[in-house]
Amino acid sequence: MRAALARPQVRDRAGRRRYWTDTARDILLYVIILFFFLPVLWIILTSSRPNIEINARPPVWIPARLDFDSYKILLGMPVPEGAFGMGSQIPFERYAGNSAAIALTSTLCSLILGVLAGYVFARFRFRGKNGVFLSMMLMRAVPGVALSLPLFILFARLGLSDKLAGMIVAYTALNIPFTAWLMDGFFRAIPEELSEAAVIDGCSRWGALVRVDLPLALPGVAASGIFAFLTCWNEFALASVITRTPASRTFPPALYEFTGSFVTDWRGMTAMSVMMLIPSIIFVALVQRQLVQGLASGAMKG
């Protein structure tokens, strides 16, 4: 990235001192990052340690043993005698299917619509452009709770409440503004001359978008895709109001089902959370470099 990072291996005293300050700085960074990682470790440990240790006093720091019973219960697999958990009453596959269908479909839809809108903002001049852009951002400022009130009534009238289609449409709308904004930045980072050359060579404007600009903006599409996917996958306020039954319920409101009136099944809840995190982690690990490079190339600047 930065040329300054490629330090020559200087073998004098200053070079050695520099090596040690760099190492110290990296260690400091690892310690800070550990703080952000601890809760992840906690939910993994809680999901697989004996139930009795979870609320133990004095605290048990190192689990006596680890097992995967809570996962097996959730997945409806046979478990050893004595293993129990609220997971047995939870239609895990159903929720996974709903969450995946809703998140993937609405991410795809908002990417298509948002990319087109972002392209227009980046490459065309027309009257009222600032107004349209600002209105989009205002739409993004509407919180889920405020939107859930009228959407709850309207969806009930349209027969969309508790339907996958309703959630897909709602989440698509939630993600368009931010996608359009990010893509505007990504497209502006691509030299305009490239698509102009294509147009001069006889390509249509639309052809220039599909053949020249879009392939170059793919890291940006990946970055926008991450943000849209994570929003849909994790959204709670709207989902808790609109998905009333397992027919359309997604993971976030389903986490609630592990809380009873007197007890909370932490093992079951954390087991489901871990499984819910896996797709996100894979997705982010795959595109994290494009994400930061894309953002650095200008999407976030001003």
User: Residues 66 to 95: which contact another protein by CB under 8 A?
Assistant: none
Residues whose CB is less than 8 angstroms from the CB of residue 46 and which lie 6 or more positions away in sequence, other chains included: 54, 266, 267, 270
The binder of another protein chosen from 87, 114, 220, 268 (CB under 8 A)? 114
Q: Which two tokens stand for residue 20?
A: 């040690």
Closer to another protein by CB, 79 or 160: give it: 160
Nearest to 217 by CA among 179, 257, 260, 263: 179
- Pick from 59, 80, 202, 260 the residue near another protein by CB under 8 A: 59
Q: Residues with Cβ < 8 Å from 161, sequence gap 6 or more?
A: 152, 155, 242, 244
Three-state DSSP at 193 gives: helix
User: 283: how many CB neighbours lie within 10 A of its CB?
Assistant: 16
Q: How far is the CB of 75 from another protein (least distance, A)?
A: 19
- 154-173 residues near another protein, rule: CB under 8 A: 154, 169-170, 172-173
Which one of 67, 84, 91, 133 is in contact with another protein (CB under 8 A)? 133
Instruction: Give the x/- contact pattern for another protein in 190-209, rule: CB under 8 A.
Output: -xxx--x--x----xxx---
Of positions 176, 198, 212, 228, contacts another protein by CB under 8 A: 176
By CB under 8 A, name the one of 66, 77, 145, 263 that touches another protein.
Answer: 145
Figure out which of the listed residues 10, 15, 17, 55 binds another protein, where binding follows CB under 8 A: 55
Q: Does 10 bind another protein (CB under 8 A)?
A: no
Number of H helices and E strands in the chain, helices first, is 14, 0
**What is the C-alpha radius of gyration for the chain, rounded to an integer number of angstroms?**
24
- DSSP 8-state symbol, 87: G
Q: Which residue has the tokens 């005293």?
A: 13
Q: x/- binding map, residues 218-257, to another protein, per CB under 8 A?
A: ------------x--xxxxx---x---------xxx-xx-
What CA dihedral angle connects 78, 252, 37 and 270, to 10 degrees? -30
Least Å distance, CB 251 to another protein, is 7
